[in-house]
Each structure stands twice: as structure tokens, then as C-alpha cells.
């Protein structure tokens, strides 16, 4: 059974605070191991990547086989059924259309002094996407990472996707091809992150690395940050559903389980103003756990980290949700638009009874790479902007420099930066000649 809380209980605040503080991330002390792997890859390049792949993935590679060949890509793509191909293409089309609207505009203007100011946006030159292998090999994640990069204008896009024992998911290969990926490497782990960040003889370095992974991948991304950009450090999946008693308990139960089945440390929370809805959803979850294919994983998640919270008002529900700052938030209420302004922190919001979070994972259009572990308080999901950078522009005219230059000189002197001040004064003196 999940935790069951009521806002009217005397110990509610203490129990809810404890719920927020539950440690779900599997964070073994891997940093020293990862540091050694990165150092090895930087020193020995391809040889280190090949040895580590043989050790961890039981796959023997050569510099020539680190990446899939065009013929291999075509062969794996041919294995995908027409139905699966059509679904991937629909998802790609919708994701591409949504993200195209995110592309920002350049701007230039002249202010009152006559100075010309502005900014321009440009894409990073190369990006590397990490795609987990094995059971967590998701073609949808390829689309969600690669398509925004291509929309942004990234010139070279590489994927690192481990293939333990040589096992390949054809859907992942097809998703990469549909998304416009240039090269697919069959490597993973910290060694793949190091290779993408620093490069080897066979693997060209990139400017930004995105995509989820295990504790070793997360630790490697932390270590290479600064050498390259990263998106975020992803934690276990989470969903919070706000209900008001008007929803279908079976639908809500399935929505909660859609995240619970990801991982034993995923978290599913229902906050509702209806005790009857709370009871019905709990019963529906238990019924589905009898037959769900991934019932052992989902059951452990629901038992250890699930929660059902009964509150008196939707305003209370929104306030508690903001404290959780969930990765996914469903507003399964009669009037979601009325509640929406009260929501301040969430990675993605799904409005109304007919919008299951699972639609967002695949074909909705918005990105499913989202902040977890309460980081939606200060960060956003993956977007086109993650693959772009803003460069400021400025042009002074003589009149503009005459108007604002003396203030710059004054500030430079106050900071004891003489050359700064002199560089402005030299031009001001020229104006006075």
C-alpha cells in the first residue's frame, strides 16, 4: 500500500515534508570509478573505449565497428514493421512541429543614445545524445533528443547507444534515421560520455551532451560539464495527479502506474479533494497490479514511494503540488484551466481527463525529457534552446559613446581597472580633438 495522508491529520505537515525528502535516487559512490574511466579514455582513446565495452557490454569492437555502418542501419530499419514505422513517423512529425515553434528570433534595435544593440541565436556545432541500452532502450527518447537538436540547426548529431551482447533495438536505429542523426555509436557508460566530450581517433568530440543514463552516466556528465554542455542530471520518473472527484478512478490508476512501471524507485502521487476518489483509485491500482506485465517493478514503486493525499480544496492541492514540483503533473479536474494559474512548478502539465501523461511520452509534441527530483523549481524540460546559444551585439556611434562612455570610465576607475577606463577615454579624447 502507498502512503495515505490527509491534510486534516495533526501530523500531516511532518509526514508530507518527509515524503518530499524521500531519497529515491540510486547514487552509489561511483565518482572515483568514473574519474578513472574518463582519464583512461582521454589517454588511450579508442583502445580504452573498446576494452571497456568488452568488459561491461560483453561486445568486441574495433575502431571500424564502433559506429553502425550505413548498410547496417538500413538492414535494421528494414526489420521495423510498417505499423511501428508509421507510429514513429507520426511522433516525429508532431515533435518536430512543436519544437519548430520554440526557435527564437534574433533582434537588433537602436536606443535613445544612438547605440545599436541586440542579440543573435546560433546552434551548437555538434551534439551527442546518450540513449540507454538493454531494457531501457526507448526509441521515443531518440526522437525527443535528436529532433530539437536538428530543429535548432545542429550540424553534426551523434548517438551513443550501448548494445549489450550485440543486442540491437531496430526501432532505436530507425528513430535515429528519421531524426536526421549522422552517426550511431554502439557504446555506452561513462566511456561513451568521455569519448563524446574529449574525442578519440574514431569519435569526434561534441559541444553538448544530452540524454538519460545510469549512475555512471550521470556521474560522467557531471565531470565533463564545462568541457561540454549538458542538459540535466535525470533522476527516477515521477507523476503527480490532482483530482477533484470528477475523474475516472481506473484512468487515474493507469496514469499513476504508467510511471511506476518505469522503475522501482519511480514515484506516483495522487492529491485529491475526494476521499471516495482516493479509495477508488487505490482499489483500481491494486487490481491492475494483479495483471500488469511489469507488476513487480510497478508494485514496488507504488508500495515504497507512492502516496495518496486527501485535501479539502484544490488550492491546497496546487500548493502541495508546487512543493513537489513534479516531473509530470496531470490536472484531472472538472476545470483544469481554472486551476492552471495556481500551478507554479512542474516539468510538464497535462490538462483534463482526456490527456494522459503517456501521450506526452510519445506523440503529444512537447518534449518528454523533463526535470526530476524537484528540479522543476528552477529548470525546464529539453527544448530547442538547449541546443542554441545567444550572442549579444553592440555598436556604439560617436554620439552614443559621448553619452554613456564617461559613466563606463567612472566605473572602471572605481574597480581599479585602469586599461578599461583608458580604452574608453582614448575614444572620448578623439571626439574632443
Q: What number of CA atoms fall less than 13 Å from residue 269's CA on the CB side?
A: 29
The torsion angles phi and psi of 107, rounded to 5 degrees, stand at -150, 145
Contact indicator for 165, 58 with CB cutoff of 8 Å: yes
Contact indicator for 382, 149 with CB cutoff of 8 Å: no
Cα–Cα nearest to 148, from 373, 383, 372, 366 = 383
Residues 282, 94: Cα–Cα separation, whole Å: 34
- Could you say which of 238, 327, 330, 357 is catalytic? 327
Question: 398-414 and 418-432 helices cross at what angle (nearest 10)?
Answer: 150
Cα–Cα nearest to 369, from 138, 176, 179, 141 = 141
Query: Among this protein's residues, is 13 annotated catalytic?
Result: no
Residues 364, 431: Cα–Cα separation, whole Å: 59
CA 281 to mean position of chain CA atoms = 29
Q: Who contacts 382 (Cβ-Cβ below 8 Å, separation ≥6)? A: 144, 145, 148, 210, 231, 232, 367, 369, 370
Rounded to 5 degrees, what angle do the CA atoms 83, 84, 86 make? 65
Contact indicator for 66, 50 with CB cutoff of 8 Å: yes
Rounded to 5 degrees, what angle do the CA atoms 151, 157, 158 make? 145
Query: Among this protein's residues, is 328 annotated catalytic?
Result: yes
Rounded to 5 degrees, what angle do the CA atoms 358, 184, 168 make? 65
Residues 318, 71: Cα–Cα separation, whole Å: 52
Residues 82, 79: Cα–Cα separation, whole Å: 9
Q: Who contacts 178 (Cβ-Cβ below 8 Å, separation ≥6)? A: 88, 89, 92, 143
Residues 186, 205: Cα–Cα separation, whole Å: 16
Residues 162, 408: Cα–Cα separation, whole Å: 54
- Could you say which of 288, 328, 353, 368 is catalytic? 328
Give the three cell numbers for residue 112. Answer: 535613445
Active site (catalytic) residues: 327-328
Amino acid at each position: 500500500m502507498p502512503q495515505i495522508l490527509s491534510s486534516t491529520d495533526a501530523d500531516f505537515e511532518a509526514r508530507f515534508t518527509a515524503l518530499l525528502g524521500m531519497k529515491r535516487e540510486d547514487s552509489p559512490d561511483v565518482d572515483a570509478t568514473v574519474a578513472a574511466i574518463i582519464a583512461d579514455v582521454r589517454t588511450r582513446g579508442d583502445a580504452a573505449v573498446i576494452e571497456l565495452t568488452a568488459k561491461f557490454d560483453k561486445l568486441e569492437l574495433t575502431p571500424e565497428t564502433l559506429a553502425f555502418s550505413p548498410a547496417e542501419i538500413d538492414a535494421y530499419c528494414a526489420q521495423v514493421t510498417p505499423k511501428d514505422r508509421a507510429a514513429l513517423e507520426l511522433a516525429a512529425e508532431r515533435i518536430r512541429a512543436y519544437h519548430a515553434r520554440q526557435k527564437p528570433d534574433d533582434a537588433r534595435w537602436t536606443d535613445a543614445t544612438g547605440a545599436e544593440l541586440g542579440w543573435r541565436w546560433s546552434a551548437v556545432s555538434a551534439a551527442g545524445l546518450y540513449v540507454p541500452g538493454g531494457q531501457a532502450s526507448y526509441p521515443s527518447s531518440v526522437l525527443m533528443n535528436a529532433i530539437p537538436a536538428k530543429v535548432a540547426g545542429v550540424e553534426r548529431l551523434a548517438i551513443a547507444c550501448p548494445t549489450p551482447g550485440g543486442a540491437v533495438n531496430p526501432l532505436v536505429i530507425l528513430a535515429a534515421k528519421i531524426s536526421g542523426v549522422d552517426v550511431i555509436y554502439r557504446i555506452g557508460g561513462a566511456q561513451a560520455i568521455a569519448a563524446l566530450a574529449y574525442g578519440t581517433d574514431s569519435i569526434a568530440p561534441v559541444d553538448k551532451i544530452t540524454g538519460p543514463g545510469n549512475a555512471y552516466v550521470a556521474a560522467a556528465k557531471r565531470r565533463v560539464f564545462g568541457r561540454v554542455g549538458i542538459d540535466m542530471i535525470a533522476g527516477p520518473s515521477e507523476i503527480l495527479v490532482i483530482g477533484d472527484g470528477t475523474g475516472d478512478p481506473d484512468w487515474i490508476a493507469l496514469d499513476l502506474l504508467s510511471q511506476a512501471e518505469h522503475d522501482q524507485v519511480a514515484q506516483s502521487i495522487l492529491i485529491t479533494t475526494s476521499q471516495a476518489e482516493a479509495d477508488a483509485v487505490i482499489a483500481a491500482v491494486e487490481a491492475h497490479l494483479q495483471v500488469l506485465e511489469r507488476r513487480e517493478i510497478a508494485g514496488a514503486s507504488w508500495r515504497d514511494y507512492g502516496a495518496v493525499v486527501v485535501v479539502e480544496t484544490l488550492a491546497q492541492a496546487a500548493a502541495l503540488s508546487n512543493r513537489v514540483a513534479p516531473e509530470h503533473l496531470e490536472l484531472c479536474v472538472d476545470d483544469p484551466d481554472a486551476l492552471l494559474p495556481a500551478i507554479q512548478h512542474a516539468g510538464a502539465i497535462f490538462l483534463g481527463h482526456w490527456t494522459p501523461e503517456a501521450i506526452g511520452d510519445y506523440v503529444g509534441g512537447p518534449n518528454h525529457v523533463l526535470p526530476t527530483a524537484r528540479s522543476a523549481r528552477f529548470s525546464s524540460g529539453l527544448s530547442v534552446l538547449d541546443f542554441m546559444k545567444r550572442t549579444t551585439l553592440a555598436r556604439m556611434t560617436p554620439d552614443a559613446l559621448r553619452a554613456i562612455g564617461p559613466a563606463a570610465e567612472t566605473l572602471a576607475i572605481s574597480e581599479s581597472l585602469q586599461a578599461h577606463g583608458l580604452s574608453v577615454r582614448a575614444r572620448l579624447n578623439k571626439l574632443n580633438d
